Structure 1
Amino acid sequence: MLQQANYFSKFSKAPVICKLVGRKVLDGVGQPTLEVEIYCRVKNNEKRICSTVMSSLSQIPENALPETTEADEKERRDSVNTAVEWVNEPLNTMLRDLKPTDQSKVDKVLGEYFTKKVEEKKGIQNQEEETEASLALSSCTPSATALPGEKKAAKPGKKVAVAERPIPPAEPVESVLCGSLAIGGTSLAIAKAGATISRIPLYLHIALLKHDQDSPKEMTLPLPMVTLLNCEKILPAKLKLVKEVMLIPPVQLSLKQGIERVLDIQKEMMKLLEPPGKVPTPQLADGKKGRVHNTGKKALPRALKRISHLGCLITQCDNLEQPLLLMQTACNNIGLELGTDIYLAINCAAQELMDYVKGKYEILTGMFKSPDEMVDMYVELINKFPSIIALIDPLRKEDRQQWDNMYCALRSKCYLIAEDAATDISKLKIDQNINIPRCSGVVLKYINQTKVSDLIEVTGLLDGQRHITILGSPDGESSDDSLVDLAVGLGARFIKLGGLSRGERVTKYNRLLAIEEELAKNRTLREANLEFIAFAEESQPEKQPSDVLPPPKQDLLPPQLSQPALEDCSLPAQLSENSTLT
């Protein structure tokens, strides 16, 4: 009977979607978000296949005003409630009877529905604007008194703060359509259902979608950027420039070995931060080989007794060198050398520092630097701390000329990564080009209306232009570990998951370790392509559009990143080796 059943099962219809269920759940910081469940008809039986919980780009401001927090929470609740309605009603009907393995068709339906909703919102806004304009004209009466909010003219002799030099204004923030979580959540849930129906892991299903069903013989794992310190400004601390300090394990280690090394550094760092009166004398990097000498002057920063929503320790710092010295001291104490045994990456989040009145970045309280001065500062920083191999968002995306200058100065020494410029994946695609400043790569986040097909298309364009793809974890993270499968299937060079604390963060590291074990067991784990790329000088003319990145030559370094090879790039002559960072 069993053989007969197996025989007739070959002639049964392929599984199709029969029901979508959306519900409101909580994310890793207790905020509402969307869960999407997929039910399929398998051999005439309705069966629950899988579910996914969406993450959201939820910035969690420190010391936010109560009214601001209330408004953000209301907007979030409304968006999640609308997303639940979309999933349970229109999307449930529109996707019924489609195959979960036909990702492109599903995403096309989702994209058309989202476009329709955007047009409806624009129509409503236009009507409201026309109504307001007509009311304003009918009630307009001349008055000599100043209207509320109208600025009075400055008195003679009074100084008015103005920008010393015009800077490109900030690009308008793209509004997020209420309910857009339903599009991304449904697309990802369908991808998981397609993998389940095909009886393959999600990462392999994504790889097949990207390569038109051509099964890869070997796959690589992304290198983790593990956040150890969150240095956001918290009174009475002054530091603002460094938002995150991250560790990147060397490529010659397995992922498991790399995570263990990061944990060792984290334990030592906690020892340094706990007893304020027993902190060892900090040691400063000296020269290109990472040697150290005692400064005897600067004290290490103290830690606050809480963990950031990023899953790492929050510290108080007064200058740029303190968190770097902390890393240096922790590594030295356990016999590791920065730049050889472990590498550093810094998330600068410079877009949060711009003072638009002065036209400068406020890198510390009361300390301002122009965009050009920022470039010089970063060049000096990398010269002084060569173990830093990646800078994320060192400038605003609008300062394209400075991105171009910094790329030319530092491309052979460290990766320059754009994260803020790559928030909205659908906005990156312009005429088959990537509309970002000149950089080494971008951080992509799966949020809002992002679809799996969008992510596949964008990463394909990035691969073609020799950019590095980094899959990043949003601030409002959930316990769903699908991001890791996406990163592996798409062939991302790095993955940015936050720290090694908090369940919603650690579960993703555990998933990455499980995939490494599975690929190693199947002998499909390829390690050669995990080597860092040294960006060679291009032969193109110097004057190029700053938003177009010519493909660099792919000169691969040996498995252990060669520090001398990275230090051949000359620095601007005006920077002194003995100058001090502030």
Structure 2
Amino acid sequence: MGEEGGGRSGGISRDLLKLKQQAMAYYQENDVPRKLEELLNSTFYLQPADVYGHLANYFSKLAKPPSICKIVGKTILDGLGLPTLQVEISCTIQNFPKYICSVAIPTHSEVVENALPEMVDADEAERQQAVSKAVRWINQFITEELWGLIPSNQAEVDRRLRIFFEHKVQADKDRKELERSQEEPVPMTLPVILPPPPPPPSKKKGQKAGRRDTLLEKPIFPPEPPEPVLHGSMAIGAVSLAVAKTSATLAGTPLYLTLALLKHDQEQPSTFSMPLLMGSVLSCGKSSPGKLHLMKEVMCIPSPGLTTKQGIELLLEIQKQVNRAMETLPPPKPETKKGHNGGKRSQPPITGRASHLGCLTINYDTIEQPLLLIQGICSNLGLELGVNFHLAINCAGHELMDYSKGKYEVMVGTYKSAAEMVELYVDLINKYPSIIALIDPFRKEKKCVT
């Protein structure tokens, strides 16, 4: 019995040795990765509980890449307490769903200060409807459109979102045309009678022909209606951004680098540069209690030679000095029957109310007053305006136009034509050369088709 067992044992050993030789030959002939061989050998030196984790970590690299499994849209409140859209994305990682990240974007609507209550209610209802429809698009349609896609395939994600949005735009257009055809009666064609041409203007006695007579004043067209925005369209940009952030989170790279790789065909740029900082420090405009309407925002632009951190610190210091100037000004005197402060006009105080742009609203009556305040702050900080930082002015020209008069109301009761506005800007920049940017100096001109 012993000899028989010993012979059988010796045969098994010879069979195992033969199998090992065959396995080694297979490894060499088929070029099996050395890492796999090392992994199999290393498992003999691990505790039984560690073997599975060691193998799982290795083979997880060979698993299917993460794919989108769920996109959720939610209504949240932004910094102003207004409803906006948030998008959350979950991915399937190694056969298990996992939440990755979320993004929130602002709404398309513009905040109008000092608006009538009925206009505020209409804007709130419009904003709520836009956000609610975007949430419905995401939860009912977009999550199915993008299910199973790899987040790093941004081009395919955007292509599907673009096609989805085109279908929604066409459906909305068809719906409006159907409603219009059902409501409007069939128009009757009537002969068109052209009015007689106006008589030529009569020339007054003693009036000499000059350059002003030869130049015709450009007609002022009525304001253009606001560009229609399809309710729910904010979901497209929000989901696209959320997918890009998901790809960056899974890859462990910053979002800006992920976007740069998309732009440069997956080749990392040699250098990166930060956008030029522009910070709003003062606000006038029509929402302010003063007479000045022209400067909706006065923005400071730190010198490009400063780092981003230094530029932000400079903007914060300027804002701090503005707050101190507000605290040191005396309170306004009560009005009398003769007028403001007994008939003598003095410098109006700063109101201290922050606009929705995040800067203080100034109660000023002339164009120079906000700029002189900035100059005084520069002197206190030992800075040189035009060297350490520059200025930009958001003129908000579309808000200044008085269509009944066809002119821009730069201050209460002060109206200027387009040509006079150009002269005003030229004089302002010549007097304050630190102004390097004018934002929306005029309204958007409507093209006249002749």
Would you call these one fold, judging by a TM-score over 0.5? yes
Q: Provide the rounded CA distance (Å) in 2 between the counterparts of 1:278 and 1:71.
A: 37
Name the amino acid aligned to 2:98.
K
SS of 2:184 mapped into structure 1: helix
Q: Out of 72, 75, 86, which is 1:21 matched to?
A: 72
Rate the CA distance shift 1:299–1:338 in 2: closer, same or farther, 3 A. farther
Are 2:350 and 1:303 aligned? Answer: yes
Partner in structure 2 of residue 121 of structure 1 = 172
Query: In the aligned structure 2, how far is the partner of 1:241 from the partner of 1:375?
Result: 13
Q: Which one-letter code corresponds to 1:112 in the other structure? A: I
AA matched with 2:219: P
Offset of residue 137 of structure 1: 7.1
The alpha-carbon distance between structure 1 residues 352 and 45, as it changes in their structure 2 partners (threshold 3 A), is: same
In structure 2, the partner of 1:470 is: none
Corresponding residue SS for 2:129: helix
Q: Which residue of 2 aligns with 1:174?
A: 227
Q: Deviations over 1:508-554 (max 9, x none)?
A: xxxxxxxxxxxxxxxxxxxxxxxxxxxxxxxxxxxxxxxxxxxxxxx
Once the 2 structures are TM-superposed, how far is the Cα of residue 169 of structure 1 from its aligned partner? 4.7
Cα distance, 1:165 vs. partner? 4.0
- The equivalent of 2:439 in structure 1 is 392
Deviation at 1:267, TM superposition (A): 2.0
Give the Cα–Cα distance (whole angstroms) in 2 for the partners of residues 350 and 44 of structure 1.
Answer: 56
Cα separation, 1, equivalents of 2:346 and 2:432: 18
| Aligned counterpart for 2:303 among listed residues 250, 255, 273 | 250
Cα deviation for residue 262 of structure 1 reads: 2.0
C-alpha distance in structure 2 between counterparts of 1:306 and 1:236, whole Å:
10
1:106 partnered with 2:106 = no
CA distance in 2: counterparts of 1:347 and 1:235, whole angstroms: 14
CA 1:55–1:191: 2 relative to 1, 3 Å? same
Counterpart residue number, 1:479 = none
Pairwise CA distance, 1:200: 0.6
Task: Kindly state the Cα deviation for residue 356 of structure 1 after the two structures are TM-superposed.
Answer: 2.1
1:82 aligns with 2:133: yes
Write out per-residue CA displacement over residues 21-68 of structure 1, whole angstroms, 9 at most, x where no aligned residue: 111110111111111000001111101111001112332222211111
2:284 corresponds in structure 1 to 231
Q: Does the Cα contact within 8 Å between 2:85 and 2:107 map onto a contact in 1?
A: no
Aligned to 2:122: 71
Q: 1:327 to 1:298 in 2, by over 3 A?
A: farther
Q: 3-state SS of the aligned residue for 1:277?
A: coil
Task: Give the deviation of 1:256 after TM superposition.
Answer: 1.4
**Cα deviation, residue 336, structure 1:** 1.2
Contact 1:300 1:325 in 2 (8 A): no
CA distance in 1, matches of 2:331, 2:382: 20
The verdict on how the C-alpha distance between 1:384 and 1:263 changes in structure 2, with shifts beyond 3 A counting, is same
What residue identity is the alignment partner of 2:82?
Q
- For 2:226 and 2:322, the matched residues in 1 are separated by 38
- SS of match in other structure, 2:291: coil
Distance 1:399 1:319, change over 3 A: farther
Partner residue of 1:464? Answer: none
1:362 lines up with 2:415 in the alignment? no
User: Contact 1:300 / 1:326 at 8 angstroms: preserved in 2?
Assistant: no
Give yes or no for contact 1:239–1:319 (8 Å, CA) kept in 2: yes
Q: Distance in 2 between matches of 1:69 and 1:164?
A: 37
In structure 2, list runs of 5 or more residues that go unmatched: 1-50, 189-215, 333-343
Looking at structure 2, the residues matched to 200 and 301 of structure 1 have their Cα atoms a distance apart, in angstroms, of 51
Per-residue CA shift, 1:279-330, capped at 9, x if unaligned?
Answer: 9xxxxxxxxxxxxxxxxx9965522232222111111110111110110011
Partners of 1:236 and 1:264 in 2: how far apart?
Answer: 26
What root-mean-square deviation, in Å, do the aligned CA atoms of Structure 1 and Structure 2 show?
Answer: 2.4
- Give the C-alpha shift of residue 239 in structure 1: 1.0
**Pairing 1:57–2:108 present:** yes
Asked if 1:209 is matched to 2:256, the reply is: no
Aligned equivalents of 2:74, 2:81: Cα separation in 1: 15
Give the count of matched residue pairs.
359
Change (3 A) 1:174 1:236: closer
CA distance in 1, matches of 2:72, 2:285: 38
Q: Deviations over 1:96-124 (max 9, x none)?
A: 00111111111111111111111111111
Q: Does 1:316 align with 2:316?
A: no
Q: Which amino acid aligns with 1:89?
A: Q
Indicate if the aligned counterparts of 2:282 and 2:298 stay in contact, CA closer than 8 A. Answer: yes
Map 1:272-283; keep pairs closer than 5 Å.
Answer: 272-277=325-330
Q: Is 1:31 equivalent to 2:31 in the alignment?
A: no
Letter in 1 for 2:265: D
Q: Secondary structure at the match of 1:223?
A: coil
**Aligned in 2, Cα 1:235/1:41: closer, same or farther, shift over 3 Å?**
closer
Contact 1:169/1:398, CA 8 A, preserved across alignment: no
3-state SS of the aligned residue for 2:62?
Answer: coil
Pairing partner for 1:130 from 181, 197, 211 = 181
**Partner SS for 1:380:** helix
Question: Does structure 2 retain, via aligned residues, the 8 Å contact 1:273–1:301?
Answer: no
1:299–1:223: structure 2 CA closer, same or farther, 3 Å change rule?
Answer: farther
Measured in 1, the distance between the counterparts of 2:221 and 2:267 equals: 45
What is the CA deviation profile of residues 535-574 of structure 1, one whole-angstrom value per residue up to 9, with x for unaligned ones?
xxxxxxxxxxxxxxxxxxxxxxxxxxxxxxxxxxxxxxxx
Q: Which runs of 5+ in 1 are unaligned?
A: 139-162, 280-296, 401-582
Q: Aligned with 2:179: secondary structure? A: helix
Q: Which of 371, 374, 384 pairs up with 1:327?
A: 374
CA contact (8 A) 1:103 1:191 kept: yes
The match for 2:95 among 14, 37, 44 is: 44
Q: Greater RCO between the two (CA within 8 Å, min separation 6)?
A: 1
Q: Distance in 2 between matches of 1:265 and 1:233?
A: 24
Deviation at 1:214, TM superposition (A): 0.8
- State which of 238, 241, 244 in structure 2 corresponds to 1:188: 241
Structure 2 letter corresponding to 1:180: S
Q: Deviations over 1:340-369 (max 9, x none)?
A: 122111111111111223222111112111
**1:234–1:316 Cα contact (<8 Å) kept:** no
Equivalent residue for 2:199?
none
Give TM-score scaled by structure 1 length.
0.59
Give the CA deviation at 1:278.
9.5
Q: What amino acid does structure 1 have at the position aligned with 2:140? A: E
Structure 1 position 19, deviation (Å): 0.4
Cα distance, 1:5 vs structure 2: 2.4
Correspondence 1:5 to 2:52: no
Alignment of 1:402-417 (within 5 A): none
Whole-angstrom distance in 2 between the partners of 1:247 and 1:174? 30
Query: C-alpha offsets along residues 482-504 of structure 1, whole Å, 9 cap, x if unaligned?
Result: xxxxxxxxxxxxxxxxxxxxxxx
Cα distance in 2, alignment partners of residues 214 and 274 from structure 1:
53
How far is 1:399 from its partner?
Answer: 7.7
> Which residue of structure 2 lines up, in the alignment, with residue 524 of structure 1?
none
CA contact (8 A) 2:283 2:360 kept: yes
